Amino acid sequence: MFILIDSVKAFPLIFIMTDGGPGEVTEVTNFYVYRQAFTFSLWGYGSAIATLMLVGVFIVSYAIYRITREKDDHGR
């Protein structure tokens, strides 16, 4: 979960400092979405990737919640 949050926070650094870096070396998922939507005008494709990224965050968050809740229930 923390790695996912860090990748979202990395967007401004990558965009400002390297504009995507040499080639696609420093490209994280949210920067890829930005490039597809705003550079190549593939709005639907960028929106679909962003939506899948959001669903993925919810799934991972829910899984972590369930795991920690089960540990809490057994520890009481």
Please write the tens of the pLDDT for every residue from 11-66: 888 788 887 777 777 778 888 898 999 999 999 999 999 999 999 889 988 998 99
Q: Which range of residues forms the domain containing residue 27?
A: 2-75
Number of structural domains found in the chain: 1
Residue 7 · residue 30 · CB < 8 Å:
yes
